[in-house]
Structure formats: structure tokens, C-alpha cells
Amino acid sequence: MKIVIFAVLLAVASAKKFSVEKSGNTCAMLVLSGKVDATASNGTQDLGSMSLPFDSATLIADSNCTLIKLNLTSSVEVWFQLDGATAGAQQIQPIAKFTPVDVFPKVNETADVVFTADAFGSFSTNQSFLCKASVDHAFTTQQVTPVNFTLQATTDQLQIQFGNIVNGSFSSDTSECDQDKTSTPQPTSTAAPTTVLPPQQDISLNVTNGNVTCILMKGFFTISVTFEDTVAGKKVNRTGDLNIPADAVASGNCTLNATVESMQILFGNGWELDFLFSKDVSSSDDTSVSISEISVTYNTAAFKAASPVTKNVTMEKKGGFLKTNLGGYYQCNANSTCIDESGVKLTTTDFKYQAFRTKSDGNFYGSIAECPADEETSSVVPIAVGAALAGLVLIVLIAYLIGRRRSRKSGYESV
């Protein structure tokens, strides 16, 4: 309870006031709290995100009686422009802009990107517009940029007025937003329960090339997918877990080229899990093998989505995933998440893989590269034994010291 009250006080306390003066009188005024969030991505890769609070914004000097410009950092600006086209029904047009290179270190674009969001409010010239509810403003841009940017502002405690401001305070005649009128706290969309299909099964997969079983993989595999769905007319994010079934079919190519082998695993209805295995011959003594690319194709029809979609998510990592030595294999018994990206998560248990094999049988051979999660589990026993030994040494040492003291004491007494 105390925490809730504290949080409310904080929210109120962080609303900030901005006023535009004209010949000594306030002609435009804005109070708000909230934040601006932006992201950058080039379609395949997340190139960064940022979140800036309005309470650290400053008023930009060239604001005027119909346009309040806020400076959130050196380059991010949010403007509240009076759209007074229809007198008696004035609106606010939000505008935002930033210089990508100043905001996202990974983005090398110097041209400003300008965004607009839907105009909001409806108030007459002698009213102030008030919105206590938290409102999201989704901004869009018409500019075509090599990198995709998203921008969203959230305003809480917003109050704004243009003109007719007496003694620097808002008009008591306020027009309040619709969100405040239906002010029963809106239930946060409860996450739909996770759908799990079918039970987990230990699966064994292989790719052969003539009489050689060049790739072997086994374990329990779960693919978790987060997707947007419509439930009872409402948009919700659902999660579905699909355990790869034992009847999954593997195929592949072990002669793609000298350093790359591939494996495709087909299962469910239109699902696919693809791996590319790479041999890194650049390291001088030990040649390593790793998974250089993982690609998941899923179909949300499996989870009875209202409008099923098929999506393909590909993940690459510099240096590869799950590295092992050539001639050896990778093992991870623990429940371990190998990838978690773009709403797709691949989890394995009792997992093993070996690529670039030269034997025909179905047994893993050679040295083992074990995942860190297994090392932690297996180091519990040595640590316990070590601690017990240290304890023993301590006890012996104390016993010895006490013994020595006693014998000394008795020595003095006898003198």
C-alpha cells in the first residue's frame, strides 16, 4: 500500500511545466510527465533502442504561442503544435524528430527523421485540455530511410493551453480526454496461457553422405514462439511451445562446400528448423566446429491462432553458436536456451551434436565440449568435497593449538 502511494506521488512529482512567454505574459503552457521510446532496426538486426523521460526535457527557445518545442536530448525533440483549424475544436498535433547518428551509435545516418502522431484533444480557445490517464502516441514517418525507426511517446498528467492564460495558471474550464471519462482503471491485458504441444520426446537426427553419418544430433527440443493474436476481440500476445516430435524428418547436405554442412528438420505442419555447421580453419592448431546459423520457420496455426502466420527467423552469431573441436562433439544436459530472438526461443535438454563426422555408426566420438550450465552442476560435488576437506584441516589446526596451549600452561605451573 505504502509503495503504491509513493509511486503515485512520484508520478505527480515528476510532471514538468513548460511556459512560453510573449511580452511578459504566458501565452502557451504545458505540464506533462511520461517518456519517449524509439528503436532502430534494419529488418534483420536490432540496432538499438532508447527511452527518454519528459521530466528531463527543456523548452526550446524558438517555441511560440502556437508551438511548444521540447528538447529531450541534444537531438531528440517533441513538438506540441496547436491545430486550430476548427475554432471551438482545437487539437494538438504531436511532431517528433531526431538525428539518427546522435541517438543510435550503430546507425550512421545524419539526416533528421521527422515523425508525426495522430492529433488529439478537442477544446475551445478559452479552455485548457487535460488528460490524467496514461496515453500512448504512436508516431510514424513518411521518410524512407535505410534503417527502420519506431517512435512512441507516452504522456501522463498532460495539461496544455494556448492563449487566454491568466496569471500563469490554466483556465479552470477544462476539456478532459476520453480516456479520463472512462476512468475505471483499464485491466492490463492478461497474458494468455502458454499453449504446449506435444509432450517432450527424445529425438535423434542424422544426415548421411554415402556410408558416412556426417551429422548427428539428439536431445529434447522446445521452440517457444510469442505472437500477436486476437482473443475475444482483443489483441493479445500469446506464447506457444512446440516440442519437436519424434517423427521429425532430417535431411541435409554434407558437401555444401569444404567448410559448411547443413541440416534441415521438418515437423508439425510447415515448421522447420535449419542449421548450418561451419568448420573454422583459421585457428592455427585446433580446428573448431560451430553452428554458424540457426533458422526457425513456424506456423501459428499449430496454436490455433485466429489469423495464422508463417514466419522465418534466422539467427547468426559471429564466431558461431555451441563451439566444439573437429572430431569431437558438443554436449549440454541442462535445460539451456540456445537462441532467444525476435519472439523465438529454442531450448534444448540432454542435447548433443557432432558435425563433420567421418564414421558411419550412430555413436558420438572424440573429445566433449560441455556447456557452462553443465560445468556449474558438475562442479557442485568437487566444491562440496573441497569445503569438507578445508573444514577438517581447520578442526585439526584448532585442536593442535588448544593442545599446545594446554601443555604450555601446565609447563609454567610445574616450574
Ligand X SMILES: *[C@@H]1O[C@H](CO)[C@@H](O)[C@H](O)[C@H]1NC(C)=O
Q: Which residues bind ligand X (CB under 6 A)?
A: 41-45, 60, 62, 64-67, 71, 73-74, 108, 148, 189, 206, 211-213, 228, 235-237, 253, 255-260, 272, 274, 295, 297, 312, 314, 335, 349, 359-362
In terms of CB distance, is 130 or 238 closer to ligand X?
238
Residues 117/140, Cβ–Cβ less than 8 Å: yes
In terms of CB distance, is 376 or 399 closer to ligand X?
376
In terms of CB distance, is 143 or 189 closer to ligand X?
189
CB of 396 to ligand X, least distance (A): 39
How big is the chain by its Cα radius of gyration, in Å? 32
In terms of CB distance, is 3 or 258 closer to ligand X?
258
CB of 160 to ligand X, least distance (A): 15
Residues 239/257, Cβ–Cβ less than 8 Å: no
CB of 189 to ligand X, least distance (A): 6
The Cα–Cα gap between 235 and 229 comes to: 6
In terms of CB distance, is 44 or 378 closer to ligand X?
44
CB of 208 to ligand X, least distance (A): 7
In terms of CB distance, is 174 or 341 closer to ligand X?
341
CB of 177 to ligand X, least distance (A): 21
CB of 176 to ligand X, least distance (A): 26
